[in-house]
Structure 1
């Protein structure tokens, strides 16, 4: 059993020692000086390259689904009234998801089987290629905490950042959230191609693309782990975050212009507590924790609040704070019934690190079964905490929007139903 870093994927070199302490993976900017041992981030995310790395196998083993927790991290605002575009969680038919390895299931939007009533996540077979050695939060949300026969279109890609031109991922083939929106969602599921202006009759191009509308769909994004991990030590990180959220806001604007009206944003969890960072310096952990707080503040106060302020009663907006369940479980595994069986919250076992195991696999040298570790490897958690995150998302959606605006008429001159963000064009939705 070791708290060391995950092995690099083939062709990748782990970033360790003094080189890692000054390495820059962002597009611009110099680095601050950090002690040696920082930062094997790229090799960790490379292990879970989307659509290629980890096929979580459920063969021969069944997951035990514990009862839902009685506690909750969901916060509500009684002044937030859902608008007419929100039918309630039970009225949602379609979910479109964007993110990184914490979210990916390996779904390929261009092939069959596509999501359907009988196969709600489409391809690959459930639970897909995840980084949790079992279902992840998208899987659980779709099949355990769903309140309807939900069909989920999960475009998340392992290693993703918001925009590769701002923060580079571990490999140039990684699809950023910008790519997920421009290259997959827009051409695959709207009447437009990769911009508001592309009205080619070949779109939507995804097989069996659903007839989704603003009031029967929800759009969720969980991103930022790699943006932070690949840039937090740089001395121009404030400028980097500014650029990230300019693009993030524009992408949300594109989704709005395409017809999206219900948005859920998940915050970055306390990754400074992962084994990779526990093996690093106090200085590195402090710097990363501060950048996480800044990033999450921008999610709440700029991205989510700005979306609601711009569009008022035309949108419903949620922020789900993943810091709360992660910290609760890392402090006390009994905080949720789903995680009560965890025995180790600070380390991982190399023998389990690549996943693709039965959910309760036990290797003697690891001390306890894989599902009794919080961390599968030095960056990615096992499936129990994903179960909790999914429950929290479902509770938030059930409770109603928690991002409010004092302007109930749409605000900022957007009565035409078109986002002023999201590039040029006049897409009015589907």
Structure 2
């Protein structure tokens, strides 16, 4: 496992505190560093879209103990004890938190949303890059279609020229891929190298196509979040006889991340005006696992909320075991980080060196007014 100097990690912690304070002042003034933020992805970014979907099979987090550390201690649909990574990135950009879930505003008149002055979160827990990943949820292709509806609405209200300007200056966050890798692994836990290469190549190609579709709709600034070492989450550990990380899942994540970086580099060279940053949750989670106590963590293997081995055999429900020292845990539930971990990871992606965000970090992307 690669290491990163502890001094750098301490600097990131300091940056997190400074940015949070500065962003809070900006948010209080109601002025973001970009006109709007549009979010696409899975449960790593969902802030409540799945609350509005019918069916018992839909993955949701709109019940305790989720949200125990959210303002007013209420569950919102976030798979977290408080904020998720998107919330912290939005906070760094001067917003209060993530923009609202699309399904919460789709049938309402929200002047900020439909004038392009806030953004929308389209992420849906359980979704993936492939339409076949998950069930009864909103795949990435449909999320792009939902954005097209919002874009048309904005154009109708402010005019095409003004809408194009807003879109070109807004940030488009994409956080997805992990569920596709889990689904592939569940079908074949011992894939050949050729199987892995074919699957990842197809997944990267589809991811690229979705980015292209957003570009056609006016997006120019892309903040792409890579896949963390998902084989080290509590759920995969609970499947391993020795409780170790599952190497196949981590290999798939690394291959996918490498492919996405290359694809984004190619798109930026081919599509005029396209700017991007790939934020590496993978590198940051590795750093937390390597230097847990230096970053304030004491447990990087168990979920704070859950049951069974590593608290990773089932999700966080009202009847699940809940830890008291939530800020000392890397994982909130069987697959997702805690509020504390998300805050540190977002700080690294927003302000950190190329190890955590490349070719530029999110702050540089946001502040690039070309």
Could you state the TM-score of these two structures normalised by the residue count of structure 1? 0.56
The change in CA–CA distance for 1:250 and 1:381 in structure 2 (over 3 A counts) is same
1:226, distance to aligned residue in structure 2 (A) = 0.6
Q: Aligned to 2:277, what secondary structure does the other structure show?
A: strand
Q: Which one of 198, 211, 216 corresponds to residue 239 of structure 1?
A: 198
CA spacing shift, 1:284–1:355, aligned 2, 3 Å: closer
CA distance in 2, matches of 1:308, 1:237: 26
Trace 1:229-378 onto structure 2 (pairs within 5 A): 229-232=182-185, 233=189, 234-235=191-192, 236-279=195-238, 280=240, 285-302=246-263, 304-312=264-272, 314-336=273-295, 340=296, 342-348=297-303, 349-350=305-306, 354-355=315-316, 368-378=324-334
RMSD: 3.8
Query: Residue in 2 aligned with 1:97?
Result: 39
Cα distance in 1 for residues equivalent to 2:47 and 2:257: 24
* C-alpha distance 190-226 of structure 1, shift in aligned 2 (>3 A): same
1:181 aligns with 2:150: no
2:129 corresponding residue in structure 1: 162
1:134 corresponds in structure 2 to 82
Q: Report the alpha carbon displacement of residue 310 of structure 1 after superposing the two structures with TM.
A: 0.8
Alignment match of 2:341 (pick from 371, 385, 405): 385
Deviations 1:114-152 (A, max 9, x none): xxxxxxxxxxx9883111121111122223x12467824
* Higher Rg: 1
Q: CA 1:275/1:107 → structure 2, altered by over 3 Å: closer, same or farther?
A: closer
Q: Larger % of helix: which? A: 2
Q: Deviations over 1:81-105 (max 9, x none)?
A: xxxxxxxx96411010111111100
Question: Under a length normalisation based on structure 2, what TM-score does the superposition of the two structures give?
Answer: 0.64
Deviation at 1:262, TM superposition (A): 0.5
Q: CA deviation at 1:263?
A: 0.8
- Change in 2 beyond 3 A, CA 1:299/1:128: same
Distance 1:135 1:90 in 2: 18
Aligned equivalents of 1:215 and 1:92: distance in 2? 10
- 3-state SS in 2 of match to 1:96: strand
Secondary structure of the corresponding residue to residue 103 of structure 1 = coil
Q: Could you tell me how far 1:177 is from its partner in structure 2?
A: 0.9
After superposition, the C-alpha distances for 1:325-350 in whole angstroms (9 at most, x for unaligned) are: 111112222444xxx1x332111253
In the TM superposition, residue 301 of structure 1 has moved relative to its aligned partner by 0.9
Cα distance in 2 for residues equivalent to 1:366 and 1:163: 33
Give the structure, 1 or 2, with the largest relative contact order (CA under 8 Å, sep 6 or more). Answer: 1
Structure 1 gaps, min length 5: 1-65, 73-88, 111-124, 193-198, 205-209, 358-362, 402-430
In the superposition, relative to structure 1, how do residues 345 and 297 fare at CA in structure 2: closer, same or farther (>3 Å)? Answer: same
- Does residue 1:153 correspond to 2:120, yes or no? yes
- 8 Å CA contact 1:100–1:157 kept in 2: the answer is yes
Q: CA deviation at 1:366?
A: 5.6
Please list every run of 5 or more consecutive structure 2 residues that lacks an aligned counterpart in the other structure. 1-9, 17-30, 53-72, 100-117, 352-360
Confirm or deny: 8 A CA contact 1:162 1:176 kept in the other structure: yes
**Residue number in structure 1 paired with 2:362:** 397
TM-superposed deviation, 1:256:
0.6
DSSP 3-state at the match of 2:184 = coil
Render the CA deviation track for 1:373-410: whole Å, top value 9, x for unaligned. Answer: 22222212211111122223332222348xxxxxxxxx
Instruction: Give 3-state SS (helix, strand or coil) of 1:102's partner.
Output: coil
